[in-house]
Amino acid sequence: MAKNRFNYSWLHDHINDPYVKLAQREGYRARAAYKLKEIDEQDKLIKPGQIIVDLGSTPGSWSQYARNQLAKGSKRGETREGGIDGKIIALDLLPMEPIADVTFIQGDFREDSVLDQLKEIVGDHQVDLVISDMAPNLSGVASADAARMEHLCDLALDFSQNHLKPDGALLVKCFHGSGYSQIVEKFKHQFKIVAPRKPKASRDKSSETFILGRQLKRRD
């Protein structure tokens, strides 16, 4: 019975969520697009001409937002047809419905075959921005969930170390709780500028937060 009440409560909140309604109205696949939008408007992450990699992209709302920002001839925040000024490569283990001007690679980005596809698309260029809205399947066991979240952040950090421009940026999702301080320390070890971000579109009840790292430090 308690589970049913929880499901009903979640469904009620979801249906009445203003960001869900806004996403439906503006054609985004998920309300998560507005989390990236708020952070981008604050930090000016997405600019014409960039190469952007979206890790854990499915269902694709972050790639949709990035695509709209790179649309040729667009004013910031508007959607235009006719291609983009830049490149967006989205990666995920799960399939993703196509998005105009976004190249999707299905697979594990730790595998050489997937990285080879990425390198073929990017060519000799390094990446300007890596974004990751990845989250593990939560078990309810705090220590296990924290370890899974830290592992995903480690993967994004490692990917960025190998593919990001020196003045590039990495934005990842994590949870504020057990293991959070360790993730922040890893960011500080790798980036000169590290800042937490909690957009208004992130639900109040959620411990979800985002960490932004900018400007890679030189490796020892």
pLDDT at 7 over 80: no
**Residue 172 confidence (pLDDT) above 50:** yes
User: How many residues make up the chain in this entry?
Assistant: 220
Mean per-residue pLDDT for 91-120? 93
Residues 191, 155: Cα–Cα separation, whole Å: 15
Report in angstroms the alpha-carbon separations of 84 from 175, 188, 194: 33, 33, 29
Given a cut of 50, whether residue 10 has pLDDT beyond it is no
Q: Where are the domains of the chain?
A: 30-216
Q: What CATH architecture is 30-216? A: 3-Layer(aba) Sandwich (3.40)
How far CA 194 is from CA of 49, 66, 128, in Å, comes to 24, 21, 16
Could you give the residue numbers annotated as active site? 173
pLDDT at 220 over 90: no
pLDDT digits 0-9 by tens, 35-67 = 999 999 999 999 999 999 999 999 999 999 999
Inter-residue contact 214 to 197 (CB < 8 Å): no
- For residue 160, the model assigns a pLDDT of 94
Residue 202 has what pLDDT? 87
